[in-house]
Amino acid sequence: MAARRPILSPFALWLLLLCGLAVPGMYLLVRQSGLDACPTGLNNDVAWGLYIGQFTFLAGVAASGVVFLLPFHFHGDERFRAFLLPGEYLALGAVIAACLFLLADLGQPARIWNILLHPNPGSIIFWDTLILPGYVLLLLAAARIRRHWREYGAPPPFWHKGLLTLSILWALALHTVTAFLYAGLAARGFWLSSVLAARFLASALCSGPALLLLICFAGRRVFRFSPDPEAVGLILKLIAYSMGLNLFFFSLNCFSVFYSQMPALTAPYAALTALSGIPAWCAGLGIVSFLLLAFPAGRAHPVLMPLALVLLLFSLWLDKGYLLLPGGFALTPLGQTAAYSPTLTEACISLSIYAVGAILVSLGLLNCPIPQPAAPGNPDRRNGIPERRRRCCPGRQKRAGQDGNY
């Protein structure tokens, strides 16, 4: 007797789970937007909370798309071809989720018009508001061009190189401007650092690739994703180097703070450590993940490598998503300790926004065309373009097969 097939596939169950997580938080977000009465843990001393912390972390994930664009488009490394579309879909889901966190922090989305109708070029948040939707449009345009070439064999337009260069610069500017939001506040000694933008970029270059590798490893059978092992090894090396730079910049900041013994700089660290012992755990997890990925034995181990990626992501989320905001607001201008704890409403809305981003990334990865090598006896299956699509554009076959830019 034949086995009964399940009513829903695992991917459909995954989407239903994400939708179930997204609906309650979206209801609270709409209620917050309409009434502006949902309770949060913010107060007069703590103006930014969990929403801005998640915005900062996801902005770094969104900016990590340059890791896959640079080696393929500007150095001709074909091993990174399989990561292009998944990396762009991950960046697209992350930047949309970051925009939702920014709207949630505003309370009422209509307040965004105050920034656009009354622009102030001297405000960092004005530039960040322009960069976020611009990056979304660049990602959509790049993904559409690449998918059209992959499916129909159409050669990329002549201006695609300029679009890719602009998207790379835009991604770097996205997280740099986000760092300037913090470093530009001179009254907050915890954020007042010249290497904060460099730390943000270094952490972004390892957080996005680490998350994409974990997604691909976990959903290998669902997304039918089989990247080049050499490319995976190179990405793991890049993650290790970027995490090493992040720890190095953090050590520079710690030296300038604690060696100078200036109360305005050391007091936020002491207050944050007194409120919670999480900073030590965050640094410890980052160092352990770096050591596991720094050596070839750790990168090749089937258990230690995913564990190192999980520890790395968790340490970066603690750093930028949870500790960065309480650390800056740990002391009031009068020297008093200001405590902040996210409420259940903030946690539900944050979980729902992450679920929305996961839905977008899952649908994008499911629809990614799979690059497949030419099989013996099937010469019409080249460059991942199906035979029926190649017959639709016979005049473009030769150019599509010879072009290596996409």
Taking only the tens place, the pLDDT of each residue in 326-342 is: 777 777 767 677 777 78
Q: From residue 368, how far is each of 134, 229, 231, 258 by CA, in Å? A: 23, 19, 18, 49
Please give the Cα distance from 125 to 291 (Å, whole number): 37
Q: What are the pLDDT digits (tens) for 55-66?
A: 989 988 988 877
* pLDDT, greater one: 106 or 370: 106
DSSP one-letter code for 40 = -
Per-residue pLDDT at 28 exceeds 60:
yes
**pLDDT at res. 391:** 39
Please give the Cα distance from 136 to 147 (Å, whole number): 16
CB atoms under 10 Å from CB of 204, counted, come to 31
**pLDDT at res. 355:** 93
**What is the pTM assigned to this prediction?**
0.81
At residue 312 the predicted structure's pLDDT band, cuts being 50, 70 and 90, is: very high
Per-residue pLDDT at 220 exceeds 80:
no
The residue type at 204: A
Please give the Cα distance from 109 to 26 (Å, whole number): 13
Q: Is 56 helix (H, G, I), strand (E, B) or coil?
A: helix
160 touches 406 (CB < 8 A): yes
Residue with tokens 């809305």, as numbered in its chain: 349
How large is the average pLDDT for residues 113-131?
81
pLDDT above 70 as % of the chain: 79
The DSSP annotation for 149-165 comes to HHHH-PPPPTTHHHHHH
Q: What are the pLDDT digits (tens) for 147-201?
A: 666 666 666 677 777 788 888 888 888 888 888 888 887 777 778 888 888 888 8
Degrees, nearest 5: CA angle 50-110-95:
50
Q: Is 338 helix (H, G, I), strand (E, B) or coil?
A: coil
Give all domains of the chain, ordered by start, each with its CATH number.
Answer: 20-32+43-371+383-402 (1.20.1630.10)
**pLDDT at res. 68:** 78
Q: What are the pLDDT digits (tens) for 192-205?
A: 888 888 888 888 88
Least confident of 61-65, 306-310, 380-384: 380-384
What 3 state SS string does 235-281 have?
HHHHHHHHHHHHHHHHHHHHHHHHHHCCHHHHHHHHHHHHHCCHHHH
